[in-house]
Structure 1
Amino acid sequence: MRTSWTSKALVQYRLATLAGMLGALGLASLAVHAQTIIALPAQALSLSLSQLAREGAVNILAPSELTANHNAPALSGKLTVSEALHRLLEGTQLTVQQRDEKTYIIHGPPAQAEALPLRPSDIVTVLPPVMVNGTNAMNDLGFAAQSSSLATRTDTPIIQIPQSIAVVTQDTLASQQDQSVRDVLRNISSITIDRVGSYSAQGLPYIRGYAAPVLLDGLPVALSQSDIPLSLPPVAISRVEVLKGADSILAGSMDAGGLVNIVTKRPQADPVQRLTVQAGSYGDWLTSLDLAGAITDDKKLTYRFVMSGERAGQDSIGYDGKRNFYVAPSIGWHDAQTTLVVGLQQNSDREPFAPNSLLLPTGPMNLSSPLGRPDDRYLINDTAVYYDYTRKLTSSLTFHSKARYDASSQDSREYLITALPSPSGTTFLPQTNQIQQDQISVDNNLQFKTRTGPITHTLLGGFAWSSDRYAQTLGSGTSVTVPIPVPPLPPVAITSVNKIPSQRDSLTTLYVQDQMTWGPLHVLVNLGRSQVWTTHDAPGIPSARVTNWSPSIGIAYQLTDSLAIFANTTHSFLPQYTFPTFNGSVPQPRIGHSIDTGMKFSLLDDHLTGTVALFRSKESHAVQDDFNHPNFYAVVPDIAYRGVEFDITGRLLPGWNVIASYTYSNAQAPNGEVGQLPTHVASLWTTYDFQNAFLHGWGAGIGVWARTHYNAIDATGNLYRQAGQTRTDVSVYYHAKRWSATLSAKNIFNRALYDDYADQRLEQQSGRLFFLSGTYDF
């Protein structure tokens, strides 16, 4: 009779022999025996399996009942996935079955296995599978996100990252029926949106009081191109990530508040065939299609095809409505060593101007019709191609390269108020603004995993480069003076054209990073050197170049598998050579410094996650308009924001989901006057899926967004205290096996609401809006 040891040895021998035969034929079954450097702390079994699946690039499947009440021991060393699984399951009476080279299934004891058959409807992916889909796994459990590659460029559990990161998942987007990225960002602490001071259709996000750069799939987008990712339709978006604090290592040049990353959908092997139709207030109609799946039988070649079209009759005050068309085909390849995604995105967007009201000394002027012509609008057209390539060179060394090229145009046409209302009327100036822009962004890096004694290192070194060519043409016409409400104005007629010579901005960043893990201690050290170089086509304008070092260090310590404390210090810089001073000097670069400390938690079997943080973000050498010398700028004293942030997202009880945030901030401005962040801001969105049999499939949601007052500048140039406000949204929905329907109401109480920032003008938000949408999986 064979002993268990000899049986196991025989099985291993046969597997090794078979692997050798397949290897001789050139087949990629090396993953069965490939060893990986593994460093897992003692924690919940489900979390260890998640990390192992991510690091080993495999799928680990199990009914949630099997892993919910088990803890796993600490595990470190160079192991195969199979060896690591057997060590993690020791003493649990659970067993593992390998279905194929990329899939492992966890089983319970025989009696329990009969009670819990592993049917497809019962299988729970401990980590959303790294199927042969050409993408990195995004470990999202409903509303709760488990990992992110934003801060580290490597997929890392959020609880181990010593920085404040907030993620809005795809399930959250669908639950809220978000109509824009602006809607999505309002779920996150310390974020406000400026659609008055920025010349864009979508506005400019501010984090902790500072303008925030926008990244698209981890690659920086020029500030003047932020409308490109912010105008993407919801069907295109996989998740939205926000990193708090100064971090020029990721964005190159930036302010000290943080950055936003929009992650789009990528190819996957799991089939998706979803049609969505939506009808809304003011004649809004939207239709979208999301298709994905495997092209080949081995599921190594996959695809994604996303298409969306939207048309609205008008907006809430009478501007001609939105038009949007988006199409994005992509192809993916994934095997044991290689992941490649290649795609195209085409986005054409027509946006009415934000309904910006005048802020008079008596308060906001209530708008019932456009301040201009109904056809005042922004046009945005963007065509992009991209690739994302990862190659595992050895078990410890990985090469990653990604790039994106955008050719975009923006064209705005409007009547702009140039004088305050008076008995004789209000003066409007017709103007146009045309921008042609081309940008290419590239990021290449090498990742190396090694150990020094008990410490595991993930070393990263890389080079990021982007180049942006910008050309602008401004046009203006003859001003007209009319009363308010505005009577029909003539079409915009341009009599003067100013073609601004094009300029090219290049950004290069060299960076090194070390992620160190020693048991429950996680340390992240970054050092980057960024250079911004601007050249002009116009003769006589010299080029300008600025270089700066940006170090950062963060420490996270896991008190338990579900609770960690963290602290960090980060830096940023932003060139200011385009802001001349009256004395002819060039201002120094704007230098940012952020300090964060706080706590992260992952509770209820990782279904509820959150962060509490104390922060202080400061900038030195900032400039503002020189009121004594028009068209010049003056350096102001240091500006800082400090406060407390709280973000929580996930499942509280079966069927009960929540995403909530709160911010308290204290602006330390030179004169304490105008800030981009109110003292208190809070948000809550929660849904409940009814659990009893009679109401099975039905659910409801409610959301509240609130802020206190903030200081603004009225149309006469004086300070004005803009009052606080609260908005309430509700929804009711029904989910069947292959279809769903949702009815939602935004601003259900039809309150007069205004946006987050006012400088002589402020945005008047829409009144009550209704949306009815249906999805069908065919």
Structure 2
Amino acid sequence: MVMVTDGHAQNMVAQQRPVTTSASAEAAVSLETLSVTGQSSHDDPRGPIDGYVARRAATATKTNTPLNETPQSITVIGRKQLDDLRPHTVSDAIAYTAGVYSTHGPATVGDFFSIRGFDATGTGVYKDGLQLLGYSFSGFQGENFGLERIDVLRGPAAVLFGQGGPGGIINLITKRPTEVPFGHVEAGGGSFGQKYLAFDLGGPSSTDPHWFYRVTGLGRQGGTQVDGVDDNRGYIAPAITYKPDGATSFTLLAGFQYDDTGRLSPFLPYYGTVRPQALGLRIPRSYNIADPKLDTFRRTQFHVGYEFEHAFNDTFTFRQNLRYSQVESLDTLLFSGQGYSDARQTIIPRARYRLTSQARLFNVDNQLVARFNDGFFAHTFLVGLDYKQYQLHDTQAGSGPATSFDILAPRYGVPAPPVFPYLVNRDAFQQIGLYAQDQIDLTDRLKLVVGGRGDFTTNDVDDKLRATRTRQEANVATQRYALIYNFDHGLAPYLSYSTFFNPQVGTNFGGTPFKPVTGDQYEAGLKYQPPDNRFSATFALFDLTQSNTLTADPTNPFNQLQIGETRSKGFETQIVANINRELSLVGSFTAFDIAITRGLDSQIGKIPVATPSTLTSVFADYTIATGSFAGFGVGAGLRYVGNSYADAFNTLKVPEYVLFDSAIHYARDGWRFALNVSNMADRRYVGSCSSISSCNYGEERRFTASVGYRW
């Protein structure tokens, strides 16, 4: 069988701090631009931000660069925005971000999303600047409560990070130790019987002023909108920082997470969800098309690593980021992605699957930064060497036909047919990358960014069933050139060109390794961020081309083809504002034209499935700052998703939809009470379809009530 290599692989058999709340929110340990004099950056690109508007980020350049001097489209989601929205998953957290779309609706087993029309699930998720690869059914998943911020970088990032898709990356930045002691406990609950308890504690050591700590944890239990599917999680993340002097810092970051859940009926037919079926009926959103007794998804994941930094002097700084990650999962289900078997469209055939996987991932990234003036220009020169090793033990087993599901008379507890393995693979992927980047101040206003990278990769697939071994080697060079000009008052136009590559882990149905996906992007944009830092806006035009594109084989649902070329051209804007002490706002608009430009004759000119071409969102929060009602706030949001297609030939359309979100909260004397509601009107909608027999309902109305205390 095929070894699947990206987020769409799940279609085989499964979907896969506010300024006033705590002194600790202002005191995250800086790990950037340390000097021998003990001075540190005022705005840590991995620490808290003031309200909604960030000033700086390191994701786009791996250096502490102001956003208005970064010639690429990037959005930073800070802790205050996360607290105001209370998103359940990372996919929910990025819902108000330009260019990003959650491709599978609500999902408890992972986050599935595309950026600028290209899938980014498997290779686009990073944690603290190091990649979290996710192939086949072995993906990692982040926990929002453990995050300080989320950086969403749009466009290719291969010149600094190596392997990756064209759309961009999402960098999950975890909470770090603080220099000021603090504590936070929180409890809540809501729809589907959900309840949770969380804590966040940190500060300096009581015995040694050079040591700092933080421990974050969460326990969650309850159901989902689908009958019989739970959503239970345990999460804990300790962190320790050692700063012997002002020039050196070492931070140990660890995390453990256990999930016990299932799949939210992700393989529903088009007729019966998007459109009525033959009898004029639609399948209820609460129906479990699998079987509660057979539908199980259990995942254990952990991470341990460190971030080390040492400033030799005011010119040279060395950093090393290292992490080992592991994820194990067991996934059993009755797969229903086959449509109907009768003319009345009431009987859905099923088959049983058992999927087990274990993935190990080791990352290390060494960086040397030199800040100097050559007599003509000022430079921030970065050179780096990184190494990545990924190993996957992937076993997939299936049965013949199992008991069918009758949508008029659901029956559970059916006999479970035996399963037989159809894929037993041991995969190994290695990448060594050498990269360099120079940020050159040509004048006080004009800045040039030049970068290049060489990657050397190997992909070994050991097929235990066929007793065959294959190896793919890919040595690829990538590059980036960009200019940005800073006018007075915060206006900054920019131009950029970048290339990317993405070597694919795995083989097609016939056992042949996939070729690397390659391509390039042209981007022109305009940024605006006044010196008072209350407002930030990015407007971007982009033209992306991806070659060797992977797509579903129309003649074999278990296979993928590299059909040729896909092109995405569009416009996006992101606005984030702290309008005053009381009002904060985030809004986005995305419109792009994406189509297959080379490949199968029947698909040329067609739009890929599950890819809406228009996205709009806006969320505003108003909190009274003074007077008798100080601390009381309300928030409201709107999300619009345009039409998409359910089939490769663009004959079946998934309609557009609009969702409304709201929030009410009150904070006083360290206490915070909140009620958040997503999809307020309880709009019944289909989030996307990847085929005529694989559609996903969007999430029902969700209430979340919470109470927290900080000290």
Superposition TM-score, scaled by structure 1 size: 0.79
Given the alignment of the two structures, is residue 206 of structure 1 paired with residue 206 of structure 2, yes or no? no
Aligned-pair CA distance for 1:647 = 0.5
The alpha carbon displacement at 1:626 in A equals: 4.3
Matched, 1:251 2:185: no
Secondary structure of 1:183's counterpart equals helix
Aligned partners of 2:137, 2:519: CA distance in 1, in Å?
A: 21
* 2:415 pairs with 1:480: no
Q: Report the AA paired with residue 471 of structure 2.
A: S
Question: Residue 759 and residue 482 in structure 1: after superposition, are their counterparts in 2 closer, same or farther (change >3 A)?
Answer: closer
**2:257 paired with 1:347:** yes
Match of 2:368 in 1: 446
Distance 1:769 1:256 in 2: 33
Structure 1 residue 460 corresponds to structure 2 residue 375: no
What's the offset of the Cα at 1:597? Answer: 0.8
The Cα offsets for residues 258-301 of structure 1, whole Å up to 9 and x where unpaired, read as 11111111111122200011111111001111001001567421
Partner of 2:424: 500
The AA in structure 2 aligned to 1:127 is: H
Corresponding residue SS for 2:269 = strand
Shift in Å, 1:766: 2.5
Deviations 1:14-40 (A, max 9, x none): xxxxxxxxxxxxxxxxxxxxxxxxxxx
One of 346, 355, 363 as aligned partner of 1:433: 355
* Alignment-derived partner of residue 541 in structure 2: 614
Q: For the residues of structure 1 that align with 2:31 and 2:111, how far apart are their CA atoms?
A: 36
Deviations 1:574-633 (A, max 9, x none): 235845598x98764321211111111113710211211111111123243444678665
Any idea what the Cα deviations from partners look like across 1:440-476, whole Å, max 9, x if unmatched? 0110111111112241111111111111110112222
Amino acid at match of 2:472: A
Distance change (3 Å), C-alpha of 1:592 and 1:507:
same
- Greater share of helix: 1
* 263-272 vs 348-357, greater mean Cα deviation: 348-357
Task: Report what 2:700 is aligned to.
Answer: 767
Does the C-alpha gap of structure 1 residues 292 and 587 become closer, same or farther in structure 2, counting only changes over 3 Å?
closer
Partner of 2:91: 182
Q: Does 1:654 align with 2:576?
A: no
Asked if structure 1 preserves the Cα contact closer than 8 Å seen for 2:320 and 2:366, the reply is yes
CA distance, structure 2, for counterparts of residue 499 and residue 54 of structure 1: 45
Q: Compare 377-386 and 285-294 and name the one that shifted more.
A: 377-386
2:695 is aligned with what amino acid? L
Q: Secondary structure at the match of 2:354?
A: strand
Alignment partner, residue 622 of structure 2: 688
Q: Which residue of 601, 613, 637 corresponds with 1:679? A: 613
The 3-state SS of whatever aligns with 1:195 is coil
Q: Identify the residue that residue 385 of structure 1 maps to in structure 2.
A: 304
**Which structure would you say has the larger Rg?**
1
Judge conservation of contact 1:441–1:466 (CA < 8 Å) in 2. Answer: yes
* Partner Cα separation in structure 1 for residue 169 and residue 486 of structure 2: 26
Q: Contact conserved, 1:414 with 1:492, CA < 8 A, in 2?
A: no
- Determine which of 453, 465, 482 is the counterpart of 1:554: 482
What is the alpha-carbon distance in structure 2 between the residues aligned to residue 734 and residue 354 of structure 1? 33
State yes or no: 1:490 paired with 2:419: no
Kept in 2: contact 1:201–1:227 (CA 8 A): no
- Report the counterpart of residue 601 of structure 1 in structure 2: 528
Distance in 2, Cα, partners of 1:324 & 1:281 = 16
Q: CA separation of 1:433/1:299 partners in 2, compared to 1, >3 Å: closer, same or farther?
A: same
- The equivalent of 2:316 in structure 1 is 397
User: Cα offset for 1:188?
Assistant: 0.8
Per-residue CA deviations over 1:525-579 (Å, capped at 9, x if unaligned) read 1101112201234554232111110011111110125111111111111235845
2:227 equivalent in structure 1: 318
CA contact (8 A) 2:595 2:606 kept: yes
SS of equivalent residue, structure 1 residue 174: helix
* 1:509 and 2:449 matched: no
CA distance in 2: counterparts of 1:491 and 1:294, whole angstroms: 57
Contact persistence 1:744–1:770 (CA under 8 A)? yes
Task: Pick from 680, 688, 700 the counterpart of residue 748 of structure 1.
Answer: 680
Matched, 1:236 2:146: yes
Structure 1 residues 247-286: aligned runs within 5 Å: 247-286=157-196
Distance 1:725 1:625, change over 3 A: closer
| Partner residue, 2:11 | none
- Following superposition, the deviation at residue 425 of structure 1 comes to 2.6
Matched residue type, 1:575: P
Given that residues 138 and 359 in structure 2 are in contact (C-alpha distance below 8 angstroms), is that contact kept between their aligned partners in structure 1? no
Change (3 A) 1:661 1:429: same
Amino acid of the residue matched to residue 406 of structure 1?
A: S
Deviates more, 1:722-731 or 1:413-422: 413-422
Paired letter, 1:516: I
Offset at residue 154 of structure 1 (A): 1.2
Aligned twin of 2:448: 523
Alignment check: 8 A CA contact 1:598 1:613 kept? yes
Residue 389 of structure 1 contacts residue 400 of structure 1 at CA under 8 Å; is this kept in 2?
Answer: yes
Aligned to 1:164: 73
Secondary structure of the residue aligned to 1:543 is: strand
Q: Residues of 1 paired with 2:681 and 2:435: CA distance? A: 50
How many Å separate the matches in 1 of 2:61 and 2:208? Answer: 32
Q: Please state if 1:366 is matched with 2:283.
A: yes
Distance of 1:302 and 1:555 partners within structure 2 = 40
Given the alignment of the two structures, is residue 568 of structure 1 paired with residue 499 of structure 2, yes or no? no
Equivalent pair of 2:220/2:233 in contact (CA under 8 Å): yes
Contact 1:328 1:343 in 2 (8 A): yes
How much does 1:697 deviate? 1.2
- Verify: 1:218 aligned to 2:129, yes or no: yes
What secondary structure, in the 3-state scheme, does the structure 2 residue paired with 1:446 have? Answer: strand
Q: Is the partner of 2:383 in helix, strand or coil?
A: strand
Listed one character per residue, the Cα deviations across residues 45-100 of structure 1 (whole Å, up to 9, x for unaligned) are xxxxxxxx998648xxxxxxxxxxxxxxxxxxxxx98xxxxxxxxxxxxxxxxxxx
Q: Mapping of 1:671-750 within 5 angstroms?
A: 671-713=605-647, 719-750=651-682
- Greater relative contact order: 1 or 2 (C-alpha under 8 angstroms, separation 6 or more)? 2
SS class of match (2:83): helix
Percent same amino acid at aligned positions?
A: 20
SS at match of 2:170: strand
Report 1:84-99 matches (<5 A): none
Are 2:46 and 2:149, in contact at CA under 8 Å, matched by a contact in 1?
Answer: no
Give the stretch that moved more between structures: 570-579 or 663-672.
570-579
Q: Is the 8 A contact 2:91 2:112 kept in 1?
A: no
* Alpha-carbon distance in 1 for matches of 2:534, 2:42: 12
**Counterparts in 2 of 1:379 and 1:347: CA distance versus 1, 3 Å:** same
Amino acid in the other structure paired with 1:521: L
How far apart are the structure 2 equivalents of 1:707 and 1:665? Answer: 13
8 Å Cα contact 1:141/1:607 also seen in 2? no
8 Å Cα contact 1:431-1:492 kept in structure 2: no
Q: Which runs of 5+ in 1 are unaligned?
A: 1-52, 59-79, 82-100, 104-125, 131-135
Contact 1:401/1:442 (<8 A) preserved: yes
CA offset digits 1:79-130 (Å, max 9, x no partner)? x98xxxxxxxxxxxxxxxxxxx659xxxxxxxxxxxxxxxxxxxxxx935x6
Distance in 2 separating the partners of 1:371 and 1:283? 21
In the alignment, what sits opposite 2:592?
A: 665
Amino acid at match of 2:67: I
Q: Distance in 2 between the 1:735 and 1:162 partners?
A: 38
Secondary structure of 1:261's match? strand
Alignment-derived partner of residue 12 in structure 2: none
Q: Distance in 2 between matches of 1:585 and 1:55?
A: 44
Distance 2:128 2:62 in 1: 11
Checking the alignment, whether the CA contact within 8 Å between 2:358 and 2:394 is kept in structure 1 is yes
